[in-house]
């Protein structure tokens, strides 16, 4: 499968909101409600931030929200904080128990 498409980088100032898009196809994002988002700080393991498109795990700030429209999923971070600076990856179920990740987006908090 081809990787999902994410912007290489996004930036925002503290307190602002940003949105990261994740575009797939009708074979992955568009067909299943199984998009998840992961945050990865340098040298660390990824951390689950959103699952099933819009659900937040316990302990994840409600500043993080997810949505989906057609073949595109989105992660929105509101009230940006310095600690949000990290790489973000989307992931979708792609059928036959396979998964496909996005290429990753580097978030810079200005």
* Residues binding another protein (CB under 8 A): 3, 34, 36, 38, 45-48, 51-52, 57, 89, 91, 93, 96-104
Measure the CA–CA gap between 50 and 29, rounded to whole angstroms.
Answer: 14
Q: Which is nearer to another protein, 55 or 70 (CB)?
A: 55
Q: Which is nearer to another protein, 34 or 76 (CB)?
A: 34
Q: Which is nearer to another protein, 2 or 79 (CB)?
A: 2
First to last CA, the chain: 35
């Amino acid at each position: 499968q081809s990787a999902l498409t994410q912007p290489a980088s996004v930036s925002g100032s503290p307190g602002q909101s940003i949105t990261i898009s994740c575009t797939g196809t009708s074979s992955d994002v568009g067909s299943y409600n199984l998009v998840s988002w992961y945050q990865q700080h340098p040298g660390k393991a990824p951390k689950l931030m959103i699952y099933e498109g819009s659900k937040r795990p316990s302990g994840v700030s409600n500043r993080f929200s997810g949505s989906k429209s057609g073949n595109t999923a989105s992660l929105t971070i509101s009230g940006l904080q310095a600690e949000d600076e990290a790489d973000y990856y989307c992931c979708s179920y792609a059928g036959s128990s396979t998964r496909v990740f996005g290429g990753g987006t580097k978030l810079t908090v200005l």
